[in-house]
Structure 1
Amino acid sequence: MSLRRLVAVALIPVALLASACGGDGESFDDDSLVVYSGRNENLVGPLLDRMKAATGLDVQVRYGDSAELAAQILEEGEETRADVFFSQDAGALGALSRHRMLAPIPQEALARVPAEYRGSDGTWVGVSGRSRVIVYDPRTVAAPPKSVFELTDPKWKGKVGWAPTNASFQSFVTAMRVISGEDRARQWLEEMKANGAQTFSSNVNILNAVDEGKLQLGLINHYYWYEKVAERGRNGVPSRLAYLPAGDPGALVNVAGVGMLKASKHPEAARKAVDFLLGTEAQKYFAETTKEYPLISGVPAASGLPPFDSLKGPDVDLARLDSIEQTVALLQDVGLV
């Protein structure tokens, strides 16, 4: 089986695979900039609406899971209608880069972002940062774990939530594979499953379950909690966050990022889209609206967040998170996706 087919079979549901092959009749206007977005529409829809003025073209967006969209682009190949891929995580971008689907990003755009948050080959660039955290219920948890490896302890049996189909979770597992080895990652997944980890479809659902007292702990990205606090106030969110110590895979600092497709029908507009996402307007949006970390200098993070340079994630090159196929194969083998 070809690697492209392996990715598609592993990651794309049957209905979406039909769509990738043109089965659903979806079409895009020839004079539109088409963005495949692995970011949730509720998070970034208003920002992508503003992209129209920056690119000079109408902007049409296909939303979906980052891994599924990356697999769809591989399936579509040179016939893809995507001009820009806006991914929730670095791993999906790295996978497309490895398959030579992405065009080089202009150096002046790359230079706005620290080297550790962009592709080493210059084909993708991070536009916002986030940290993996443990969300916990202080009403029932006096001291949260100091490592994700502690979550397999019997005292947490049935009390931990995770989202195995989520792109950020899969990137975290990939980081664990890279840092600790395939066997250790498999062992952790199997022990978590045996310990009754509860499966959710999203970070938001995990957070809500903790706040509602239905769950004691969960693995999420930091910004979901800060968004909820901004909406409901500090007293309206019972849960708390635990940032894990340096070196722990559960402390992974990842990025949402963007790449331009080689097959783009509008390469100049695609470059303008990248410039827009790395511009002050978009970076302030990430800071103020989605509560992520802006990656360009001169734009501060939202009030209340730990300083970005204080986050001590594991020492892993984000470009090495491109082995998404192996991670999904592992999750399938363990029976989690």
Structure 2
Amino acid sequence: MPITKTMRAATAALSMTTLLGAVPALADTVNIYTYREPNLVQPLLDAFTESTGIKTQVLFAKKGLAQRIASEGENTPADLIMTVDISRLDSAAKLGITQPIKLDSVEQNIPAEFRDPDGQWIGLTQRARIIYASKERVKEQAITYEELADPKWKGRICTRSGQHVYTIGLVSSMIAHLGEEKAQEWLTAVKNNLARKPTGNDRAQVKAIYAGECDIALGNTYYMGKMETNEKDPEQKEWASSVRLIFPNAEGRGTHVNLSGVQLTKHAPNKEAALKLIDFLVSPEAQKIYASSNFEYPLKPGVEPDARVASWGDLKPDTLPLSKIAELRKAASEMVDRVGFDDGPAS
């Protein structure tokens, strides 16, 4: 049962109850619930089907998938969860809706620091939370996360919601490095330096820089590649050309990174086929597809980033354990609300 573009669009708009009716648990088909936009994973799934003959079905939603799997229990059609951010991976595992992934290929291809010790999730790719800086209005070649609190940036910073998982991950890392008191002081100062209320996605922040609404913004690395190569919406190429990437804390502890990952559901109806897909996703072939089509950093040692990604500069990842970021996500979320981050700068 192929998933058409129309069906993918519908999944974003319909209720989760309606969505489930579109994903029956077909034999010899891997059913995937994903928080990742389908176009980001489809090249991988197409290559998998071509290689194995096993079909895939994709159910996309921005939120609520893990909770839905929990409510479906043994009747879930979902075989795999594909998502971004260690917080979502950790949350699904703690809901008890996953089972250990036991594959030699995973242990051979994905370093231990990017795998759950109990096998409840594995990382597939890495992305960095960097700074987009105006080529015209920002002369600094290096900026740390801590320096975003400097009053010189007042009215010059754009970012997406403080409660988005990307922001929560960064705030969690700041709590880990600075301690909660100093991290809150930092977040309050960053809030006061905002040019506007947090809004939009990462691409919208680059558009805002292009429009002169702000001078720097936080965003994920791979969005730059998506904008630079966007033929359907070529104005995004103009947005991208107006900024350069700065890897924060490159001279110190390293730049904050996070994962995309995969999990095997506890009651996967097509477990054998799902494990074959996981085996494929950690293979050199799939890691190269990730690197070239999604502009993400492969996790398998020896698979190089895409040339476009390499041209942005060297990534020195922060070595803070991802498990620590997951542990601090609740504190980070509460801090975002406590300082009123999404209310924007004080008038």
> Structure 1 residues 267 and 166, CA, compared in 2 at 3 Å: closer, same or farther?
same
Greater shift in the superposed pair: 209-218 or 321-330? 321-330
User: 1:173 and 2:171 equivalent?
Assistant: yes
> Structure 1 residues 186 and 78, CA, compared in 2 at 3 Å: closer, same or farther?
farther
Aligned to 1:95: 91
> Structure 1 residues 197 and 154, CA, compared in 2 at 3 Å: closer, same or farther?
same
Shift of 1:267: 1.0
Aligned to 2:57: 60
Contact 1:179 1:249 in 2 (8 A): no
User: 1:30 and 2:25 equivalent?
Assistant: yes
Greater shift in the superposed pair: 180-189 or 293-302? 180-189
User: 1:330 and 2:335 equivalent?
Assistant: yes
Shift of 1:68: 4.2
Shift of 1:309: 11
Structure 2 CA distance for aligned equivalents of residues 91 and 247 of structure 1: 27
Shift of 1:297: 3.5
Structure 2: 5+ residue stretches without partners:
1-11, 343-347
User: 1:162 and 2:159 equivalent?
Assistant: yes
The correspondence for 1:187, drawn from 182, 185, 188, is 185
Q: TM-score, normalised by structure 1?
A: 0.82
Shift of 1:30: 2.1
Shift of 1:211: 3.1
Structure 1: 5+ residue stretches without partners:
1-15
State the Cα deviation string for residues 140-181 of structure 1 (Å, max 9, x = none).
111156212221222212211111243322222222223323
State the Cα deviation string for residues 109-136 of structure 1 (Å, max 9, x = none).
3211111222122221111111111010
User: 1:292 and 2:296 equivalent?
Assistant: yes
The correspondence for 1:239, drawn from 239, 243, 261, is 243
State the Cα deviation string for residues 276-301 of structure 1 (Å, max 9, x = none).
21123321211111111122244321
Aligned to 1:204: 203
Aligned to 1:3: none
Contact 1:83 1:266 in 2 (8 A): yes
Identity of aligned residues (%): 30
Structure 2 CA distance for aligned equivalents of residues 185 and 204 of structure 1: 26
> Structure 1 residues 327 and 248, CA, compared in 2 at 3 Å: closer, same or farther?
farther
State the Cα deviation string for residues 79-108 of structure 1 (Å, max 9, x = none).
543211111122211222233322111241
User: What is the SS of the residue equivalent to 1:173?
Assistant: helix
User: What is the SS of the residue equivalent to 2:82?
Assistant: strand
Contact 2:25 2:77 in 1 (8 A): no
State the Cα deviation string for residues 235-257 of structure 1 (Å, max 9, x = none).
97121011122587881122211
User: 1:268 and 2:272 equivalent?
Assistant: yes
Aligned to 2:9: none
State the Cα deviation string for residues 13-53 of structure 1 (Å, max 9, x = none).
xxx9x945x36664412204221212223322333344444
User: 1:220 and 2:246 equivalent?
Assistant: no
Letter aligned with residue 121 of structure 2: W
Shift of 1:190: 2.5
Task: State the aligned residue count.
Answer: 320
Structure 2 CA distance for aligned equivalents of residues 94 and 188 of structure 1: 26
Q: TM-score, normalised by structure 2?
A: 0.80
> Structure 1 residues 84 and 46, CA, compared in 2 at 3 Å: closer, same or farther?
same
The correspondence for 1:281, drawn from 285, 297, 300, is 285
Contact 2:80 2:263 in 1 (8 A): yes
User: What is the SS of the residue equivalent to 2:288?
Assistant: helix
Structure 1 CA distance for aligned equivalents of residues 104 and 313 of structure 2: 23
> Structure 1 residues 34 and 334, CA, compared in 2 at 3 Å: closer, same or farther?
farther
Shift of 1:314: 2.6
Shift of 1:260: 0.6
Structure 2 CA distance for aligned equivalents of residues 27 and 235 of structure 1: 37
